[in-house]
Structure 1
Amino acid sequence: MAGFSTAVTGLKASTAMLDVAGNNIANSSTVGFKSSRTEFGDIYATAVVGAGSSNTPGSGVTVTDIAQDFSAGTIEFTNNNLDLAINGSGFFQLDDGQGSVTYTRAGAFELDKEGFIVSKNGKYLQGYGLDADGNRLPIGNMAVTEKESPPKATENIDLSFNIDARSDAASLLPTYNKDEPGSFTWTTTDRTFDSLGNEHTIKYNFAEQRPVKQVLNFQLTTPTNYPEISGIQLQAGDFDANGRLIDNSPATTGYDELAVADDRIDLSTVVYDTGTGELSFELKAWATDSGDVLVEEGGATLANLNTAVEDRYRDANEVRVYTVTPGAGSGTISLAGEEIQVSAADNTADGIAGLIAAREARILENNPSIESIQATTNAAGDVILQVRFKADEGDITPEPGQLNDPYPVTVTGNVTAAHDADASIQGDNSYRGYYRMYAYLNNEELLDIGKVQDPGKGTLTEPGPILVQFNPTNGLLREINGQAFPAGGQVPALTIKGADPANSLTEITLDLTGSTQFASASIVKGSLQDGYTKGDLIGVTFSATGEMVASFSNGQNKSLGVVAVATFENQAGLQPSGDTEWAATLDSGDAIVNPPGTGLNGTLRSAALEASNVDLSEELVKLIEGQRNYQANSKTLETMNAITQTILQI
């Protein structure tokens, strides 16, 4: 009777179902475990020749497959950065070092004594190495190969700041001193590192150019000689009868050559006395204190004799000088638009001076560009009238129709006036927005930040200040060390030399992009440098795209490799090999290996593990179903046995 065999197949199938459900329940807490499902098929035995299939009762049931469910389990977070989970499809690739490769979703990894990342059973996690440029190398064992981060000398500094435009440059001390805060406008400090990892500081001092012009005096030993200034040898024909440098090209070329050789010099102030051998001139206001001027006599360098603080500078204000001569009777003086009536009684030097002094406040109120008006008398009985303009006005241009005077002094009646051109001084507001920038290593050693040697001395750079200029109308940076650039244009970088005591060849690139001169507090808006000291390994983390990043105590991070993730055309064809691992088979196809997050690969989660995907409630129901099926097949055997006993009793 075939019923016995049929019932036995049912018992075997029910037992397999109970075994699978029990295995799922047993691994409900196994990291990366994938539940299985028992699949059944019926058995039919038919003859080649005989009745049709409709007359075949069937021969029972068979287990056709124990299929695995590769759906993702819940990702649970941990405190161990080496715990990894794949958020999506894919498997970690493991190598036992003997040529056997398996695949797993269980990402509970750890470091062995040699620094390799291994699974709990000692198999090596596979990934891509990285070369010095960050390019991926062939797949191999992943390891933490960097235990320390070597020091790196600072090579780049990004510094942006705002200097308060409201600061009064005129209040600065006349002589710059790095240790005297009153001699510079603002200071800030960057920390840097040398090639051995020692920390240093670079201190920057910014001294706004004051509204003054530097006066230089030199003494030639032989008055019949002529000076050589900034590499230009001047000749007798370059000076007029009063010893002033003149522009009379093409007869002579000294004036033009000197203008090109050294644009810091105010050529209108160059005077040489052939009787005494005295040479004097002034620097333009923007260039004051920016460096030395090389003056030579027959190849010998001359020293600047004007070193006294009280004599070294003169104001950059424009001063107009007039001589007013009193007469008999009454008259009128027109001064900067103010009419001053002079009676016969007041038509004296003292009287006119008093009338002008009485109107000074009114004149200043109506003429904002004028700083002061001063009227004094001389021994000849004349009034010496000085109109002093504000330094910010610079060189005052004449009003329309007036060739010499923007604010002419005119007289009518019995008063005469004349403009004293020789005594007048032109203004110079070119200092506006200019700062001398100094840099010091550890506030001691003056650094070379790009100051070109003074004209006539060479073309190399040397320690000293450079000039930084802001546009005085909008406060934006517009010139660095003589290199001008448009608003929004590329800001020229500075090169700092000598800031690495351990390696004299180290150069630091300083970028001042974003610096401004607005009417707000002086602050550092951004400061960033790329050097660091030696660091020790403090941890390893993984990014979503698989990069293994080592973190060091000096704040640096370094990518050591990329985790490999394997996928299969038919992952259902993988063969379980224990320890929550699978092996590739002909049915699954070869592994397709790529970094996480590429193609169909899932992304990586660090400090996380994938829990088992077993649904306990579903498995408990399967236990009930398996028990019921087993009992039912047992009933079939019991019934068949009863029938057999009946036949035997006939």
Structure 2
Amino acid sequence: MSFNIGLSGLYAANKALNVTGNNIANSATTGFKASRAEFADQYASSVRGTSGRTQVGSGVRTDAVSQQFTTGNIVGTGKSLDLAIDGDGFFAMSDNGSRIYTRAGAFYSDKEGKVVNASGATLQGYPVDANGQIVRGALTDLKIDTGNLAPRATSKVSETLNLNSTQAAPALTPFDPSDVKTYNYTFNTDLYDSQGNLHQLNQYFVRDTANNAWTMYTTVNGRNPADPTNTTPLVNTLPFKSDGSLDTASMTAGAVAGGMSIATDKTFKMDNWVPAAKNAAGAWASNGAVANDGGVGLDMLATTQYNAASATTAKDQDGYSTGELTGLTVDQSGNLFANFTNGRDKVIGQVAVATFANMQGLTPVGGTAWRESYNSGVAVVGEPDTGTFGKIAGGSLEDSNVDLTGELVNLIKAQSNYQANAKTISTESTVLQTIIQMT
């Protein structure tokens, strides 16, 4: 019996050496999870009437080789498609139609634009609809669209500015955009037409002290917005209350003030802007190839008249020119953004994350990947950074969670165990030889 006990000890020590060696070999493998050999003692079937207090075990057996799913160090790489999960979860991958799961997030774009790993498995996630909204239904292959971002014509401009209440009216009249002495303040804002051509919205402000108001003169590219053949600006009035806020009650909704209509929310609207450009003769003329359907709204509700320098503190407009793809970024919610040369970002998909009731029940399939099994339970798939799902670290990879120092200590322990069990067999052999010599 002692031979069998010692032999089981050798098997166990050898198993521990194999597990430790595998951990050490993968100490630099991205997303690798260290394993641990777990052992249990063995007892032969007891003979009826034998006291349990006098039973001797029959050795040791390997009870399990369990993987440790603690998170490894997350290290920044700067590569846009390198992803790591900070917390619980796995990346869902399609391997020739079969679903596998991994923590190794070194991804690339293949010739079809699909996001894949080195083995060719495709990263799974949620697609976007025609409006750029995430469709959270069935998982699909994430794909990078390398096409240009189509331009968008400006439909709304929002401005926040203050007009100095202590300024006097200009000394010179009438208004002349080429003479700075005929107005108090001016600034420009970019506008885009349907082809992404850039235009300049020019606004000039003249103090009207008698009426506690300011006269606003508006041109586009220095021309009349509705008629590019002349330079006559649109003329509007900005009335103010005594507290310095805009007097919207004095602005009649539906009225056409100096060429701009006033909407029900008291914003202006440039209904008749005609995108224009210089023709072959060098003269300004309407460009019939472009349009700006619906006009351009001008929100100036945040305008104030305080005793401070006239200044524009914020402005925004929703148009943009054609954009070429320059890069990709992924936020902690897994949203995959395409970055374009026009400064715009576009959501092109969302990375999905999967968790399991029993991660120890997953079946390893190599390539730092696992498959679902009966023991693991069914995969629960969802959005990163929600509930128990970990968040995504873009431009980063998760290191192996192997503790190299601890594994080297385990090597020493396994070696000692192996030697000790070999000594048990050697001693048993010596005893048996002694018995034989006595007969």
TM-score bracket relative to the smaller structure: 0.7 to 0.9
Aligned to 2:98: 100
Aligned to 1:500: 275
| CA distance in structure 1 between the aligned counterparts of 2:433 and 2:54, rounded to whole angstroms | 26
* TM-fit CA distance, 1:201: 0.5
* TM-fit CA distance, 1:549: 1.2
| CA distance in structure 2 between the aligned counterparts of 1:637 and 1:558, rounded to whole angstroms | 69
Give the letter aligned to residue 65 of structure 1: A
* TM-fit CA distance, 1:611: 0.9
Is the aligned partner of 1:614 residue 2:393? Answer: no
Query: Aligned pair in 2 of structure 1 residues 144, 170: CA closer, same or farther (>3 Å)?
Result: closer
| CA distance in structure 1 between the aligned counterparts of 2:273 and 2:163, rounded to whole angstroms | 26
Please tell me whether the aligned partners of residues 81 and 108 of structure 2 are also in contact (alpha carbons under 8 angstroms).
yes
Aligned to 2:112: 114
| CA distance in structure 2 between the aligned counterparts of 1:604 and 1:105, rounded to whole angstroms | 11
Please tell me whether the aligned partners of residues 106 and 397 of structure 2 are also in contact (alpha carbons under 8 angstroms).
yes
Please tell me whether the aligned partners of residues 433 and 469 of structure 1 are also in contact (alpha carbons under 8 angstroms).
yes
Query: Aligned pair in 2 of structure 1 residues 170, 543: CA closer, same or farther (>3 Å)?
Result: closer
2:323 corresponds, among 535, 557, 580, to 535
Aligned to 2:281: none
Please tell me whether the aligned partners of residues 43 and 62 of structure 1 are also in contact (alpha carbons under 8 angstroms).
yes
Please tell me whether the aligned partners of residues 123 and 142 of structure 2 are also in contact (alpha carbons under 8 angstroms).
yes
Query: Aligned pair in 2 of structure 1 residues 644, 525: CA closer, same or farther (>3 Å)?
Result: closer
| CA distance in structure 1 between the aligned counterparts of 2:41 and 2:93, rounded to whole angstroms | 39
SS in 1 for 2:39: strand
Aligned to 1:316: none
SS in 2 for 1:149: coil
Overall identity of the aligned pairs, in %: 38
Give the letter aligned to residue 141 of structure 1: D
Query: Aligned pair in 2 of structure 1 residues 204, 65: CA closer, same or farther (>3 Å)?
Result: same
Query: Aligned pair in 2 of structure 1 residues 481, 204: CA closer, same or farther (>3 Å)?
Result: farther
Aligned to 2:280: none
| CA distance in structure 2 between the aligned counterparts of 1:140 and 1:477, rounded to whole angstroms | 51
Is the aligned partner of 1:37 residue 2:49? Answer: no
SS in 2 for 1:126: strand
2:237 corresponds, among 457, 461, 467, to 467
Give the letter aligned to residue 91 of structure 1: F
SS in 1 for 2:28: coil
SS in 1 for 2:188: strand
Query: Aligned pair in 2 of structure 1 residues 522, 47: CA closer, same or farther (>3 Å)?
Result: closer
Aligned to 2:432: 644
| CA distance in structure 2 between the aligned counterparts of 1:179 and 1:463, rounded to whole angstroms | 13
Please tell me whether the aligned partners of residues 468 and 480 of structure 1 are also in contact (alpha carbons under 8 angstroms).
no
Matches within 5 A, 1:595-610: 595-610=383-398
* TM-fit CA distance, 1:158: 0.9
* TM-fit CA distance, 1:560: 1.2
Please tell me whether the aligned partners of residues 468 and 481 of structure 1 are also in contact (alpha carbons under 8 angstroms).
no
Aligned to 2:125: 127
Give the letter aligned to residue 343 of structure 2: G
SS in 2 for 1:21: helix
* TM-fit CA distance, 1:447: 4.4
Please tell me whether the aligned partners of residues 35 and 614 of structure 1 are also in contact (alpha carbons under 8 angstroms).
yes
Query: Aligned pair in 2 of structure 1 residues 170, 100: CA closer, same or farther (>3 Å)?
Result: closer
Please tell me whether the aligned partners of residues 491 and 511 of structure 1 are also in contact (alpha carbons under 8 angstroms).
no
Matches within 5 A, 1:72-471: 72-97=71-96, 99-133=97-131, 134-137=133-136, 138-169=138-169, 171-173=171-173, 175-209=174-208, 431-447=210-226, 464-471=234-241
Give the letter aligned to residue 316 of structure 2: L
| CA distance in structure 1 between the aligned counterparts of 2:93 and 2:225, rounded to whole angstroms | 59
Give the letter aligned to residue 142 of structure 1: L
| CA distance in structure 2 between the aligned counterparts of 1:505 and 1:94, rounded to whole angstroms | 44
Please tell me whether the aligned partners of residues 83 and 608 of structure 1 are also in contact (alpha carbons under 8 angstroms).
yes
Please tell me whether the aligned partners of residues 239 and 246 of structure 2 are also in contact (alpha carbons under 8 angstroms).
yes
* TM-fit CA distance, 1:533: 0.5
Please tell me whether the aligned partners of residues 153 and 292 of structure 2 are also in contact (alpha carbons under 8 angstroms).
no
Aligned to 1:478: 247
Aligned to 1:379: none
Structure 2: gaps spanning 5 or more residues: 254-263, 277-289
Aligned to 2:336: 548
* TM-fit CA distance, 1:583: 1.1
Query: Aligned pair in 2 of structure 1 residues 168, 159: CA closer, same or farther (>3 Å)?
Result: same
TM-score norm. by structure 1 comes to: 0.60
Query: Aligned pair in 2 of structure 1 residues 612, 446: CA closer, same or farther (>3 Å)?
Result: closer
Query: Aligned pair in 2 of structure 1 residues 596, 74: CA closer, same or farther (>3 Å)?
Result: same
Across the aligned residues of Structure 1 and Structure 2, the Cα RMSD in angstroms comes to 2.3
* TM-fit CA distance, 1:628: 1.1
Aligned to 1:421: none
Please tell me whether the aligned partners of residues 125 and 349 of structure 2 are also in contact (alpha carbons under 8 angstroms).
yes
Please tell me whether the aligned partners of residues 153 and 500 of structure 1 are also in contact (alpha carbons under 8 angstroms).
no
Query: Aligned pair in 2 of structure 1 residues 559, 170: CA closer, same or farther (>3 Å)?
Result: closer
* TM-fit CA distance, 1:17: 0.7
| CA distance in structure 2 between the aligned counterparts of 1:538 and 1:480, rounded to whole angstroms | 47
Please tell me whether the aligned partners of residues 440 and 447 of structure 1 are also in contact (alpha carbons under 8 angstroms).
no
Is the aligned partner of 1:570 residue 2:358? Answer: yes
Give the letter aligned to residue 166 of structure 1: T
Query: Aligned pair in 2 of structure 1 residues 627, 527: CA closer, same or farther (>3 Å)?
Result: same
| CA distance in structure 1 between the aligned counterparts of 2:39 and 2:416, rounded to whole angstroms | 16
Structure 1: gaps spanning 5 or more residues: 211-430, 449-461, 485-489
Give the letter aligned to residue 158 of structure 2: D
* TM-fit CA distance, 1:648: 2.9
| CA distance in structure 2 between the aligned counterparts of 1:635 and 1:170, rounded to whole angstroms | 106
Matches within 5 A, 1:575-594: 575-594=363-382
* TM-fit CA distance, 1:504: 4.9
Alignment deviations for residues 210-257 of structure 1 (CA, whole Å, 9 cap, x no partner)? 8xxxxxxxxxxxxxxxxxxxxxxxxxxxxxxxxxxxxxxxxxxxxxxx
Query: Aligned pair in 2 of structure 1 residues 637, 158: CA closer, same or farther (>3 Å)?
Result: same
Could you say which structure has the larger radius of gyration? 1
* TM-fit CA distance, 1:438: 2.2
| CA distance in structure 2 between the aligned counterparts of 1:160 and 1:54, rounded to whole angstroms | 88
Aligned to 1:4: 3
Aligned to 1:629: 417
Please tell me whether the aligned partners of residues 354 and 379 of structure 2 are also in contact (alpha carbons under 8 angstroms).
yes
Give the letter aligned to residue 443 of structure 1: G
Aligned to 2:70: 71
Mean CA deviation greater in 163-172 or 581-590: 163-172
Alignment deviations for residues 76-109 of structure 1 (CA, whole Å, 9 cap, x no partner)? 1111121111111111111112x22111111111
| CA distance in structure 2 between the aligned counterparts of 1:166 and 1:643, rounded to whole angstroms | 112
Aligned to 1:510: 298
Give the letter aligned to residue 273 of structure 2: G
| CA distance in structure 2 between the aligned counterparts of 1:519 and 1:640, rounded to whole angstroms | 102
| CA distance in structure 1 between the aligned counterparts of 2:52 and 2:386, rounded to whole angstroms | 53
SS in 1 for 2:385: coil
* TM-fit CA distance, 1:481: 7.7
* TM-fit CA distance, 1:494: 0.4
SS in 1 for 2:127: strand
Query: Aligned pair in 2 of structure 1 residues 109, 170: CA closer, same or farther (>3 Å)?
Result: closer
Is the aligned partner of 1:526 residue 2:314? Answer: yes
SS in 2 for 1:72: coil
